[in-house]
Amino acid sequence: MTTTTDRPVPAEPADDRPAFLARVNLGRVFTPVPSEFLLILSTALILTVFGLVMVLSATMATSVGSDGGPFQTAIKQSMFAVVGIPLMLVLSRLPVLFWKRISWIALGGALGLQMLVFTPLGYSFDGNRNWVSIAGQQLQPSEFLKLAFALWLGYVLYRKQTLLSSWKHVFIPVVPVAIIVIGSVVAGRDLGTAMILVLILLAALFFSGVKLRLFIIPAALAAGVVAFLAISSPNRMARIMSFLDANCIDDYLDGCYQPLHGIWGLASGGVFGLGLGNSREKYAWLPAAAHDYIFSIVGEELGLIGCVVVLALFTLFAIGAFHVIRKTPDPFIRIAAGGITVWIVGQALINIGVVLRVLPVLGVPLPFMSQGGTSLVSVLMACGALLAFARTLPASQPAAAAGGVAPRR
């Protein structure tokens, strides 16, 4: 007969479980991340801070007489960075399943926001109707459309992965939806943003493994859109013709004014630059000094060394992002990350090419660095998606790499 004193003492799961769960949660927070995650995050943060410094330098001279003082523009840009950086970090914690499920909703919401530019809330600037004003704040919906479009393409092409050998499955629904998305921007006469959306489309098709012969239709549509936008706008045609004009100084007071001052500012910096804050072009000589021509101010104030640093940072960002594309086994991550990477890196190359007069003036900002809150927040959100994708890669194991025994799983 067993007495109560002989019975085994039961364990106390109520006391042990909370401590165990706490240890597990802390372990997840401090789990090592892949090197690609650190590379993308560090370059994004450095470029953002670098951009805030250059926006401050480029706008102080022209903001002195404003109500907010010389720091007004820089403070406003910093507020968007304060919003965008934590948002990027929060988005980096979301699982891939979230990004797949949100793709259709994100595209619908971004398209609905883009349609607001054609309502009384929308307004035009430099011939482009691509902005809305809500509660006194300016917003460029097409910037969010880039991210939503890349995610949507990633999800649709991922779901049709085994059917992409047929042109019909590539065409539907990708091409009709792409026409609607790009057409909503074309209707506002924004050639630069339309070209970036076309780049995202072509990148998504490429990384999905679509046969090259199936690129003919999207490439032809893209060429038709660019030709239509160029011919239908006298202002845009003037900019293209000034770019093709070898003796651009003859048109100094018209289409060549800003391109010439941009290249003059870039060239006057030499190797070491005039010094931070010592730009001459920012004194109302270069109209878009803090916007599309921020790279010219970098070259003028920080010289060739500053320009090389910016190019090196974008190169490191591209390396980290393309490593994610190469290493991931998930087709959705490969396609969506490919679209986002080509968007950010391609837009940077286009912006720098415009400043160098390798390309005509297209009106696209330099990611992370140009003045513009919507552009900065959208790019940081896109980085949040890339960081979330990078988390799915296996973290490096120093012991295994050094020849030690790999830890048990």
The whole-chain average pLDDT of the chain stands at 85
Check pLDDT > 90 for residue 353.
Answer: yes
Q: How many helices (H) and strands (E) does the chain have?
A: 15, 3
Task: Please give the pLDDT value at position 175.
Answer: 87
| pLDDT tens-digit readout, 147-200 | 999 999 999 999 998 888 787 878 889 989 999 999 999 888 888 899 999 999
DSSP per position, 231-246: HH-HHHHHHHHHHH-T
pLDDT band (50, 70, 90) for residue 25: very low
Q: Is there a contact between 343 and 199 (Cβ–Cβ < 8 Å)?
A: yes
| pLDDT tens-digit readout, 286-327 | 988 999 999 999 999 999 999 999 999 999 999 999 999 999
| pLDDT tens-digit readout, 357-389 | 888 888 899 999 999 999 999 999 999 999 999
317 against 122, higher pLDDT: 317
Q: Look at the block and give the residue holding tokens 């870039």.
A: 266
CA dihedral angle for residue 308, residue 313, residue 314, residue 317, rounded to 10 degrees: 160
